C-alpha cells in the first residue's frame, strides 16, 4: 500500500485510516490476520464487559442479582478473561497492525486493574466503550459525564499504552465532555459508539431489539460532531464511527477532522473486500485532488473558519426547510 494513506490516531502510526470496529469481526487471530491482509489500519477487539471482569476476578459476585450473575457468567459471549488475553497475544503475533483491546464499562470499580493485564498481553491501546444513560430523575445531570472522566483518569494512571474513549452522542455538551476526557488523559476519542437500538413488535406487543447494523443516514451526527469537536479541540485525535458505509463517507469524515474511521456494519455486509476497495478509492481521490497525505485532507471542511458554529448550523437549518413546500 502507498504511504499516502498513513495516518496517526491516538499516538498510533497506521498504514490506513480504515480501522475495524470492535465486534465479532475481530474475535479470532485468523480474522485479524485476514483484516490486515485486506488493508485494515488497525483492529479493535470485541469488548470485554466490566461485569465479566468483576465476576471472573471475584471482585463482584452480584449476589443481589443471581439472574444477571448467571447471564454474565454463562450466556454473554462466553469469553473467559484468559481467552481474551490469549486473543490479544495471538493477534499481536500474527498481525503487524495495531491490536486495540476494548472494554465496555460504566462504573469506576474493581474491574479497572485488569487493564494492566491487557497491556502486559501486548495490546497497542485500550478503547473504553463507556456506557451510560441517565434515567434516574434524582441523579445529578452530570453523573455520566463524571464517570467518563473518572474512568479515563484511572485507566490512564495504570497503563502506558494509549487510551481511547469511544463516546456516546447523548450529551448536551459533547465538545466540553471531549475536552474533559482529553484533560483526564485520553489519547484519542471515537465519535461515536452506537447504542443498542430498541424497537417494538406491535403484533406480539413487546419490546424488541432493532436492526443491529447502522444505516448510512446515521452518518450525519458523526460528521456534525467530528467537525465541531475537530474545530474547537484541534489537539484531540478523532476516529469517526457510526454510519460510515463507503469510501466517500471516509473522505467526508477526514475532511471534517478525523484521523481515522472505525467501520463495522459495512464490513459485515460486504466482506473484507470492501476494505481494499476503500483504500484504493481513497488513494485515487487523494491523487486526483493532489493531496499528499491524510493530514493535508484533514479539516479542510470543518467549522474552523466559522466564528459561531451554532449560528451557522441554525442558518443551515432555516435554509434546509424554507426551500421545501
Ligand X SMILES: Cc1cc2nc3c(=O)[nH]c(=O)nc-3n(C[C@H](O)[C@H](O)[C@H](O)COP(=O)(O)O)c2cc1C
Nearer to ligand X, 5 or 130 (CB): 130
| Site pattern 205..244 for ligand X (x: CB under 6 A) | -------xxx--------------------------xxxx
Q: Does 19 participate in binding ligand X (rule CB under 6 A)?
A: no
Task: In angstroms, give the least distance from the CB of 216 to ligand X.
Answer: 9
Strands (E), the chain: 7-9, 12-14, 18-20, 42-49, 99-105, 125-130, 163-167, 188-191, 198-201, 206-209, 238-241, 260-263
Task: In angstroms, give the least distance from the CB of 165 to ligand X.
Answer: 11
**DSSP letter, residue 67:** H
Task: In angstroms, give the least distance from the CB of 106 to ligand X.
Answer: 12
Nearer to ligand X, 32 or 291 (CB): 32
Position among 226, 265, 279, 302 found at the interface with ligand X (CB under 6 A) = 265
Position among 41, 46, 162, 257 found at the interface with ligand X (CB under 6 A) = 46
Nearer to ligand X, 256 or 264 (CB): 264
- Dihedral (Cα; 309, 186, 275, 7), 10-degree rounding: 80
Rounded Cα distance between 3 and 14, Å, is 10
Rounded Cα distance between 68 and 70, Å, is 5
Q: Which residue has the cell 463516546?
A: 167
Strand partners, 175: none
Position among 166, 232, 252, 299 found at the interface with ligand X (CB under 6 A) = 166
| Site pattern 282..311 for ligand X (x: CB under 6 A) | ------------------------------
Task: In angstroms, give the least distance from the CB of 275 to ligand X.
Answer: 12
Q: Is 208 helix (H, G, I), strand (E, B) or coil?
A: strand
Contacts of 120 (CB under 8 A, 6+ apart): none
Position among 129, 152, 168, 178 found at the interface with ligand X (CB under 6 A) = 129
Report CA torsion sign: 153, 155, 158, 161. negative
CA atoms within 13 A on the CB side of 301: 12
Footprint of ligand X on 47-76 (CB under 6 A) = 47
Nearer to ligand X, 12 or 291 (CB): 12
Measured in residues, the chain has a length of 325
Indicate the burial class of 244 (C-beta count within 10 angstroms; 0-12, 13-18, 19 or more). buried
Size of the site for ligand X (CB under 6 A): 23
User: Angle, nearest 10°, between helix axes 29-38 and 81-94?
Assistant: 30
Rounded to the nearest angstrom, the gap between the alpha carbon of residue 121 and the centroid of all alpha carbons in its chain is 21
For residues 179 and 190, the answer to whether their CB atoms sit within 8 Å is: no
Q: Does 21 participate in binding ligand X (rule CB under 6 A)?
A: yes
b/e map of 95-111 (b: 16 or more CB within 10 Å)? bebbbbbbbbbbbbeeb
Q: Does 195 participate in binding ligand X (rule CB under 6 A)?
A: no
Helix (H) or strand (E) holding 192: none
Task: In angstroms, give the least distance from the CB of 103 to ligand X.
Answer: 9
Nearer to ligand X, 180 or 249 (CB): 249
Among 143-151, 177-185, 259-267, 275-283, which window interacts with ligand X (CB under 6 A)? 259-267
Nearer to ligand X, 209 or 323 (CB): 209
Task: In angstroms, give the least distance from the CB of 194 to ligand X.
Answer: 4
Among 143-151, 231-239, 257-265, 279-287, which window interacts with ligand X (CB under 6 A)? 257-265
Q: Does 263 participate in binding ligand X (rule CB under 6 A)?
A: yes
- Cα angle 156, 235, 145; round to 5: 50
Positions in the binding site for ligand X (CB under 6 A): 21-24, 46-47, 102, 104, 129, 166, 193-194, 212-214, 241-244, 263-266
Amino acid at each position: 500500500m502507498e504511504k499516502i494513506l498513513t495516518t496517526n490516531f491516538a499516538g498510533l502510526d497506521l498504514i490506513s485510516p480504515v480501522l475495524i470496529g470492535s465486534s465479532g469481526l475481530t474475535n479470532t487471530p485468523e480474522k485479524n490476520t485476514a483484516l490486515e491482509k485486506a488493508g485494515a489500519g488497525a483492529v479493535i477487539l470485541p469488548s470485554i464487559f466490566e461485569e465479566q471482569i468483576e465476576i471472573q476476578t471475584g471482585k463482584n459476585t452480584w449476589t443481589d442479582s443471581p439472574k444477571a450473575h448467571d447471564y454474565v457468567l454463562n450466556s454473554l459471549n462466553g469469553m473467559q478473561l484468559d481467552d481474551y488475553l490469549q486473543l490479544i497475544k495471538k493477534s499481536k503475533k500474527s498481525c503487524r497492525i495495531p491490536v486495540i483491546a476494548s472494554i465496555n464499562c460504566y462504573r469506576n470499580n474493581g474491574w479497572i486493574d485488569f487493564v494492566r493485564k491487557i497491556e502486559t498481553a501486548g495490546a497497542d491501546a485500550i478503547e473504553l466503550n463507556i456506557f451510560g444513560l441517565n434515567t434516574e430523575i434524582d441523579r445529578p445531570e452530570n453523573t455520566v459525564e463524571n464517570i467518563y472522566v473518572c474512568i479515563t483518569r484511572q485507566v490512564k494512571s495504570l497503563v502506558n499504552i494509549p487510551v481511547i474513549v469511544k463516546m456516546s452522542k447523548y450529551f448536551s455538551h459533547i465538545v466540553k465532555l471531549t475536552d474533559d476526557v482529553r484533560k483526564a488523559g485520553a489519547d484519542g476519542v471515537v465519535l461515536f459508539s452506537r447504542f443498542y437500538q430498541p424497537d417494538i413488535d406491535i403484533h406480539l406487543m413487546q419490546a424488541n431489539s432493532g436492526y443491529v447494523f447502522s444505516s448510512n443516514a446515521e452518518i450525519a451526527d458523526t460528521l456534525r460532531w467530528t467537525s465541531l469537536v475537530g474545530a474547537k479541540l484541534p489537539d484531540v485525535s478523532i476516529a469517526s464511527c457510526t454510519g460510515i458505509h463507503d469510501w466517500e463517507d471516509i473522505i467526508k469524515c477526514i475532511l471534517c477532522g478525523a484521523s481515522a474511521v472505525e467501520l463495522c456494519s459495512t464490513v459485515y455486509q460486504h466482506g473484507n473486500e470492501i476494505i481494499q476497495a476503500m483504500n484504493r478509492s481513497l488513494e485515487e481521490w487523494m491523487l486526483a485532488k493532489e493531496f499528499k497525505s491524510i493530514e493535508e485532507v484533514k479539516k479542510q471542511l470543518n467549522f474552523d473558519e466559522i466564528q459561531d458554529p451554532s449560528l451557522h448550523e441554525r442558518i443551515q437549518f432555516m435554509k434546509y426547510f424554507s426551500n421545501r413546500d
